[in-house]
């Protein structure tokens, strides 16, 4: 029989234990563990959630990897066409892990109204375009359909729609300049069939989605000529390796650019979240550990006579230390329980009720996203328990210095 565990249970269950001098200190220790686990869970859930949300939004507009011509053009406009008659389109069979590839093109233009105007890019997409991301962003109307004849239906962002006072069903004129500045510009009247809001204001302010065939007609391209290819992968974590493979499996006249390189500053910024998460976890575990050390020392001081009696009856130092470590483990587990209940409650409330809103011009999202996974919750709880117990090994060493005779006379 594990008598140390038996004694620890009796001590924890006794009324004297709950009304002792150490009771307030113990409650503070439990509260510190609970608050620590709540803060750590929120830091991980919001940090990872924000990273994934921002990453997914950038990918929605550009794909994981972009294939285009080698040129010195640093704008988003497609100037030099490439042919769709390639070995990797419409299916990129030479590289495993490629989920989808689609042909697109972009054309800079000016939206004109009676009272105002706004510059934007018309992103031309075709029948192969994957609308999966934008079905989530859609806030009004429907997604356009370009699988049949060329049409003038477009999808506009709520940012541009609000600035120019457009709504679903309105018509909109867009002016496109020609290469020959002496010629009259192209003016196309579009029908607004849908409004989207990705929350990524920098991209929402730039892109309108229309039929790829309009850009081909304006640029006098052939039916098989497009601006660039967008490649989507199965696993974002393999982005660097797959981008290299895609580059090696495309003609030397074409360039590949991963989404990390295209939006370098954004991805460098979200990397900082990892450092913040590690810093918060370290600080909270340290604070929780210090509080538990204080509680353990108070427990030892309060039960000095019992320690002396156990030693006098033949218990060795490690046996007595185990008794108090069992006691401390109960307090840590109690703190972890309440911390998980409250922490998960707050995260679920944010996930489904969206209580905390953010400035999209700063964070690229309208509300704080949360990522909930059983994996990191289990690791976080086990890690906290183990680290706190390791921190308690040192203060429990004080038990070895207690003399049975002096301890039994201790008042």
**Full DSSP string of 127-148:** TT---HHHHHHEEEE-----SS
Task: Identify the sign of the CA torsion 84, 87, 90, 94.
Answer: negative
CA gap 399, 318 in Å, rounded: 9
| Residue listed under structure tokens 């509680």 | 295
Tokens of 409: 């006379």
Domain boundaries, given as residue ranges, for the chain: 3-56+267-408, 71-252
Pairing of strands 82-83, 225-226: antiparallel
CA gap 277, 370 in Å, rounded: 14
DSSP 111-132: EE-SS-EEEEEEEEE-TT---H
- Quickly count: other Cβ atoms within 10 Å of residue 391's Cβ: 18
pLDDT tens for the chain, 411 residues long, are 577 777 777 766 665 555 566 678 788 888 989 999 999 999 999 999 999 999 999 999 999 999 998 864 556 788 889 999 999 999 998 999 999 999 999 999 999 888 888 999 999 999 999 999 898 899 999 999 999 999 999 999 999 999 999 999 999 999 998 776 657 788 999 999 999 999 888 899 999 999 999 999 999 999 999 999 999 999 999 999 999 999 999 998 899 999 999 899 889 988 888 888 999 999 998 988 888 888 888 777 777 777 777 777 777 777 878 888 888 888 899 999 999 999 999 999 999 988 888 887 778 888 889 999 999 999 999 999 999 888 888 887 777 666 665 555 555
Cα-based distances in Å from 68 to 98, 209, 222, 253: 17, 19, 17, 9
| C-alpha 94: how far from chain center | 31
Tokens of 195: 């409004």
Query: Residue 144: which region, alpha, beta or left (left: phi > 0; alpha: psi -120 to 50)?
Result: beta
CA gap 257, 247 in Å, rounded: 9
Cα-based distances in Å from 289 to 47, 280, 386: 24, 14, 10
For the entire predicted model, the pTM comes to 0.81
- Quickly count: other Cβ atoms within 10 Å of residue 382's Cβ: 11
Q: What's the confidence (pLDDT) of residue 321?
A: 82
């Amino acid at each position: 029989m594990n008598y140390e565990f038996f004694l620890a249970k009796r001590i924890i269950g006794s009324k004297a234990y709950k009304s002792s001098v150490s009771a307030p200190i113990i409650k503070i220790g439990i509260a510190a563990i609970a608050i620590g686990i709540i803060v750590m869970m929120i830091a991980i859930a919001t940090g990872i959630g924000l990273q994934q949300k921002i990453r997914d939004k950038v990918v929605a507009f550009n794909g994981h990897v972009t294939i285009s011509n080698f040129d010195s053009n640093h704008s988003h406009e497609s100037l030099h066409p490439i042919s769709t008659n390639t070995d990797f389109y419409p299916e990129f069979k030479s590289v495993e892990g490629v989920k989808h590839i689609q042909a697109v093109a972009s054309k800079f233009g000016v939206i004109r109204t009676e009272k105002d105007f706004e510059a934007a890019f018309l992103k031309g997409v075709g029948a192969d375009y994957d609308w999966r991301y934008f079905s989530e962003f859609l806030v009004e109307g429907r997604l356009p359909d370009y699988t049949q004849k060329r049409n003038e239906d477009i999808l506009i962002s709520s940012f541009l729609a609000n600035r120019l006072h457009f709504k679903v069903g309105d018509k909109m004129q867009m002016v496109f300049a020609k290469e020959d500045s002496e010629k009259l510009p192209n003016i196309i009247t579009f029908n607004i069939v849908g409004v989207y809001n990705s929350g990524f204001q920098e991209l929402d302010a730039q892109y309108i989605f229309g039929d790829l065939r309009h850009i081909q007609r304006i640029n006098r391209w052939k039916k098989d000529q497009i601006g660039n290819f967008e490649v989507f992968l199965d696993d974002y974590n393999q982005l660097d390796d797959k981008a290299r493979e895609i580059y090696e499996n495309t003609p030397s006249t074409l360039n590949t650019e991963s989404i990390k390189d295209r939006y370098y500053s954004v991805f460098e910024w979200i990397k900082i979240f990892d450092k913040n998460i590690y810093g918060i976890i370290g600080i909270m575990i340290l604070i929780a550990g210090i509080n538990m050390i204080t509680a353990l020392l108070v427990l030892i001081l309060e039960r000095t006579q019992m320690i002396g009696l156990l030693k006098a009856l033949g218990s060795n130092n490690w046996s007595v230390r185990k008794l108090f470590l069992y006691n401390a483990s109960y307090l840590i587990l109690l703190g972890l329980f309440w911390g998980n209940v409250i922490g998960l409650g707050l995260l679920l409330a944010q996930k489904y009720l969206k209580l905390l809103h953010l400035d999209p011009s700063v964070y690229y999202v309208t509300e704080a996203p949360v990522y909930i996974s059983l994996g990191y919750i289990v690791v976080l709880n086990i890690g906290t328990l183990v680290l706190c117990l390791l921190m308690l090994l040192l203060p429990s060493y004080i038990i070895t210095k207690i003399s049975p005779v002096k301890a039994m006379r201790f008042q």
